[in-house]
Chains A and B, each alone.
Chain A
């Protein structure tokens, strides 16, 4: 988990400081420097318009992390609300909400995302919203399970006996205790969102050029596969390391929370 945390921190730092540490402007075109191999001047080479790939990757980190965090935020909000209501109310409301969750889960997620993006324009905000709208199901199930089990605990029954209103109950008593697995899910969710965003950008349906994203640098990599291997190697490596970092962090967090839950 420490490795994961370290990776996450480093990537976040690089992303935050990108405007200051990037050696070149990620969007400035230098036609004389097209498709240069990695060198001391250009650590990851240049792309088809002579832009420095390393700088573009730094700014791409900002994009990927932003999408990851906002998308997970949206999915958390929806999932928490729906899961809390389902777990707390129980009965018919619960059954109805779970049915809806099952229905949305039937769709292959990527198809759903692509279909919605087909109907809207590909833009960074739309991607964030769409990914958020298609990943709340896991959180909802998790929260619901936690609430269902927490409802039986004594402190909840005591609060009910004291006449605490349902809203306050959920907010003050149940939610804080359910946050452990939710945090794990959120961290892993960021990893997933980064993968989806880069996949969408790779297909040309995500972040549009000239805005840099790891995915759309890889698109150029594919188009120039015979002559510019660096366009394919480095951005994908960045994606791998970032997602790996979040996965390791999430798994580490899960190990922390699990034994505790069994007490």
Chain B
């Protein structure tokens, strides 16, 4: 098991390097250079000053040297400073927004697991019933529905017309004055819609996956044998079949992380939630390149981390892999 972990982590290093190369390449897609762009038409700034600025920022060095310097700073977790008015360190800005995004995505994943697994199992067990057909329709719609549209509709129906749920932000105005439990319930009300909207695509995919996984397992020989040996149906289904069908779910969950992170941009913008996605959106609008690149790199690292965790959990959960690596 430890060896597996070590091998996986070593394998990640070239991927991490590749991520930095691609990110660096993208940064230099930007037309114009930082030193030139702001100062080109400024009559007070002479050409020599621009040259000096370029030297100061290291822009006159060959690309691979610039890359090397950038990489060294990245390793020290120095993502540079934001271009925006406050000029704060990129890392700080990301750090204060990251928890919201992480929370929403984790809750979305939990929601997916809680709802999709029973639906998938029930669809498989009652194959071709009305329930199964209905769920298939639900899945197809879930795949095709734009998350921002679903969010808008829910906002209109539940927020504007019925006034059951708040439609933006994390806290109500009177948050400070609320008691602890009131605060939690307020947070909950603010988070229901965003988490649900985030989760809908993954929910559709996961329940379909669970259904086909369960169907495959149910047809396996060992299930027929267990039944023939007199095992009660409930045990057959929920202890034997389900456990084995659950294994690939972990991997799928890990694979849905990039989708969730990417989707968080739309969800956070729609619901005005102060998370990393919204920060990214604002950075893109204001052409705040260091911030854009910082968040992109962090997004990629999170994806890698998610894949690693998914692989490790799968390796841990599947006794075959666990024991093979110990031999």
Binding site for B on A (CB under 8 A): 99-100, 102-104, 106-112, 114-120, 191, 195, 198-199, 202-205, 218, 221-222, 225-226, 229, 232-233, 235-237, 239-241, 243-244, 247-248
* Residues B261 and A115 in contact, CB atoms below 8 Å apart: no
Interface-central residue, A109, A120, A222, by most chain B CB under 10 Å: A222
User: Is B226 positioned at the interface, with any CB of A under 8 Å from its CB?
Assistant: no
Pick the residue among A102, A115, A226, A247 that contacts B144 (CB under 8 A): A247
* Residues A107 and B146 in contact, CB atoms below 8 Å apart: no
Which B residues touch A110, using CB under 8 A?
Answer: 262-263, 265-266
Pick the residue among A106, A119, A191, A218 that contacts B19 (CB under 8 A): A106
Pick the residue among A102, A108, A232 that contacts B262 (CB under 8 A): A108
Q: Taking CB as reference atom, which chain B residue is nearest A241?
A: B144
With A103-B22, A118-B287, A232-B152 already in contact, 11 other A-B pairs whose C-beta atoms are closer than 8 Å: A99-B14, A100-B18, A107-B258, A111-B299, A116-B26, A202-B146, A202-B148, A205-B285, A225-B152, A244-B144, A247-B143
Pick the residue among A107, A108, A199 that contacts B148 (CB under 8 A): A199
User: Is B75 positioned at the interface, with any CB of A under 8 Å from its CB?
Assistant: no
* Residues B152 and A244 in contact, CB atoms below 8 Å apart: no
Which A residues touch B281, using CB under 8 A?
Answer: 114, 203
Pick the residue among A99, A111, A225, A240 that contacts B141 (CB under 8 A): A240
Which of B107-115, B237-245, B289-297 lies at the interface with chain A?
B289-297
* Residues B270 and A222 in contact, CB atoms below 8 Å apart: yes
* Residues A118 and B261 in contact, CB atoms below 8 Å apart: no
Q: How far apart sit A203 and B278, CA to CA, in the bound complex (Å)?
A: 11
Which A residues touch B31, using CB under 8 A?
Answer: 119-120
User: Is B207 positioned at the interface, with any CB of A under 8 Å from its CB?
Assistant: no
Which A residues touch B150, using CB under 8 A?
Answer: 236
Q: How far apart sit A108 and B304, CA to CA, in the bound complex (Å)?
A: 10
* Residues A111 and B18 in contact, CB atoms below 8 Å apart: no
Question: Closest CB of chain B to A103's CB: distance in Å?
Answer: 3
Q: How far apart sit A222 and B303, CA to CA, in the bound complex (Å)?
A: 30
Pick the residue among A109, A205, A225 that contacts B156 (CB under 8 A): A225
Which B residues touch A243, using CB under 8 A?
Answer: 143-146
* Residues B303 and A107 in contact, CB atoms below 8 Å apart: yes
* Residues A119 and B29 in contact, CB atoms below 8 Å apart: yes
Pick the residue among A106, A115, A204, A247 that contacts B304 (CB under 8 A): A106
A–B complex contacts, Cβ < 8 Å, 21 sampled = A106-B18, A106-B19, A106-B258, A111-B265, A111-B299, A118-B283, A119-B29, A119-B289, A120-B31, A195-B146, A199-B147, A199-B148, A203-B265, A222-B148, A226-B160, A236-B153, A239-B149, A240-B141, A243-B145, A247-B143, A248-B140
Binding site for A on B (CB under 8 A): 14-15, 18-19, 22, 26-27, 29-31, 140-141, 143-150, 152-153, 155-156, 160, 167, 258-259, 261-263, 265-266, 269-270, 280-281, 283-285, 287, 289, 292-293, 295-296, 299-300, 303-304
The 6 A-B pairs at the shortest CB distance, nearest first, are namely A236-B149, A110-B262, A103-B18, A108-B262, A243-B144, A244-B144
Which A residues touch B295, using CB under 8 A?
Answer: 111
* Residues A202 and B266 in contact, CB atoms below 8 Å apart: yes
Q: Taking CB as reference atom, which chain A residue is nearest B147?
A: A199
* Residues A108 and B22 in contact, CB atoms below 8 Å apart: no
Q: How far apart sit A117 and B284, CA to CA, in the bound complex (Å)?
A: 8
Which B residues touch A116, using CB under 8 A?
Answer: 26, 29
Interface-central residue, B150, B258, B303, by most chain A CB under 10 Å: B258
Question: Closest CB of chain A to B208's CB: distance in Å?
Answer: 11
Q: Taking CB as reference atom, which chain A residue is nearest B157?
A: A229
Which B residues touch A102, using CB under 8 A?
Answer: 15, 18
A108 in contact with B299 given A102-B15, A115-B292 (CB within 8 Å): yes
Q: How far apart sit A236 and B197, CA to CA, in the bound complex (Å)?
A: 14
Which A residues touch B140, using CB under 8 A?
Answer: 244, 247-248
Q: How far apart sit A203 and B148, CA to CA, in the bound complex (Å)?
A: 10
Question: Closest CB of chain A to B95's CB: distance in Å?
Answer: 18
* Residues A240 and B262 in contact, CB atoms below 8 Å apart: no
Question: Closest CB of chain B to A242's CB: distance in Å?
Answer: 8
Q: How far apart sit A119 and B14, CA to CA, in the bound complex (Å)?
A: 26
Q: How far apart sit A199 and B270, CA to CA, in the bound complex (Å)?
A: 11
Question: Closest CB of chain A to B25's CB: distance in Å?
Answer: 11
* Residues B146 and A239 in contact, CB atoms below 8 Å apart: yes
Question: Closest CB of chain A to B254's CB: distance in Å?
Answer: 13
* Residues A115 and B26 in contact, CB atoms below 8 Å apart: yes
* Residues B303 and A106 in contact, CB atoms below 8 Å apart: yes
Which A residues touch B148, using CB under 8 A?
Answer: 199, 202, 218, 222, 236
Q: How far apart sit A244 and B280, CA to CA, in the bound complex (Å)?
A: 29
* Residues B303 and A114 in contact, CB atoms below 8 Å apart: no
A232 in contact with B156 given A111-B296, A118-B292 (CB within 8 Å): yes
* Residues B19 and A103 in contact, CB atoms below 8 Å apart: yes
* Residues A107 and B280 in contact, CB atoms below 8 Å apart: no
Which A residues touch B22, using CB under 8 A?
Answer: 103-104, 107
Q: How far apart sit A203 and B263, CA to CA, in the bound complex (Å)?
A: 12
Interface-central residue, A104, A110, A241, by most chain B CB under 10 Å: A110
